[in-house]
Amino acid sequence: MQNNRSAADVCRFVIVGGAGFIGSHFTDVLLADEATKAVTIYDNFSSGHDWHIAHHHKDARFRVVNAEIADLDCLRETLSGHQVVIHLASNPDIAAAVHDPDIDFREGTVLSRNVLEAMRQSDCHRILYASGSGVYGDFGTTEVIEDQPGMRPVSTYGASKYASEHLISAYCYMFGLSACCFRFGNVVGPRQTHGVGFDFLRKLREDPTQLEILGDGKQSKSYIHVEDTVAAVLTAHRGASEDFNVFNVATGDYITVTEIADLAVAALGLDKTQVEYVYSGGDRGWKGDVPVIRLSTDRIKALGWSCENSTKQALTRSLVALLDDLEQEAS
């Protein structure tokens, strides 16, 4: 099925989870575009922060609704008059299910179901959804394509993303929505509040003599800058022609966790020979982790997107920016 959106249809956005790391960058990019008529953030500030978005409060096109996704009436009213939902809300701690097995269902799949139901009941019928590479499970060094046979999530986080994608697909077919789902690699950049590079900086600032590293440090993944991520989503949003679309979004190159530790040590200006790396052992950080991830990005590139920052550039830039964030937080 094709969708027939015109450019004039796509200027009023609701960002569900917009006060978070990635959402705040969507807000920056969308409001920098004069064609954007409205950006409304819907967020309960559980992991989002006002300082992520405070620089937009004076923009008449910008509004913040501080509310729960569970409040369907409020969400439906908020969606009224908008054309596009960027859905980013979920549990940010991907390993939390080890101690709270229900968390990714409650704060993942159920949130997506509520967003879709509010959309069905409103006139806002386009969704851009932040899924993740966890949907694939463990394919080792095989470069996975979006229609990869044999996908089998190995974490409840990945399962909740895959379940959300399936719900979105069904709502598109049954209720006339249209969608792009994005399976991001690890996203890095300013205002990040979680992730391996962020954790290393925090730990090293507390103790510059030693760094605990989960697993054996050989886990190898792509880290994409948030600017490239936002550009990929908006490129697909404007160029994808099917009612339901799925895209991998990653850099195409990879780095190990030990190499990230080296970058964090360098960003802090520490002498590497004076920092002891203490590995927790095993080939992965936690039970549902996938130690090696390779994502094919041919599909999104065919729409004209290209990744400006390599993994190393993305991480180096983000570590510098995160140090600034941490210093401002401390002052």
Q: Does 69 bind ligand NAD (CB under 6 A)?
A: yes
Q: Does 17 bind ligand NAD (CB under 6 A)?
A: yes
Q: Return the half-sphere exposure (C-beta side, CA atoms, 13 A cut-off) of residue 91.
A: 22
Q: How far is the CB of 209 from ligand NAD (least distance, A)?
A: 28
Q: How far is the CB of 234 from ligand NAD (least distance, A)?
A: 15
Q: Does 43 bind ligand NAD (CB under 6 A)?
A: yes
Round to the nearest angstrom and report the end-to-end CA distance of the chain: 54
Q: How many CB atoms lie within 10 A of CB 116?
A: 23
Q: Does 153 bind ligand NAD (CB under 6 A)?
A: no
Nearer to ligand NAD, 126 or 161 (CB): 161
Q: Which amino acid type is present at position 75?
A: L
CA distance 163 to 172: 14
**Region near ligand NAD per CB under 6 A, out of 40-48, 199-207, 257-265, 283-291:** 40-48
Strand locations in 151-271 (E): 178-184, 186-188, 210-213, 220-221, 223-225, 244-249, 255-256
Q: Does 74 bind ligand NAD (CB under 6 A)?
A: no
CA distance 129 to 17: 11
Rule CB under 6 A: choose which of 45, 105, 277, 286 binds ligand NAD.
Answer: 45
CA distance 126 to 228: 21
Nearer to ligand NAD, 112 or 235 (CB): 112
CA distance 49 to 169: 31
Residues 77-106, interacting with ligand NAD (CB under 6 A): 88-90, 92
Residues 164-193, interacting with ligand NAD (CB under 6 A): 184, 186-187, 193
Nearer to ligand NAD, 196 or 265 (CB): 196
β-strand partners of 180:
128, 245
Q: Does 63 bind ligand NAD (CB under 6 A)?
A: no
Compute φ and ψ for 13, nearest 5 degrees. Answer: -115, 140
| Dihedral angle sign, alpha carbons of residues 263, 264, 268, 273 | negative
Q: How far is the CB of 6 from ligand NAD (least distance, A)?
A: 28
Nearer to ligand NAD, 275 or 291 (CB): 291
CA distance 305 to 198: 27
Q: Does 261 bind ligand NAD (CB under 6 A)?
A: no
Nearer to ligand NAD, 64 or 275 (CB): 64
Rule CB under 6 A: choose which of 5, 10, 29, 44 binds ligand NAD.
Answer: 44
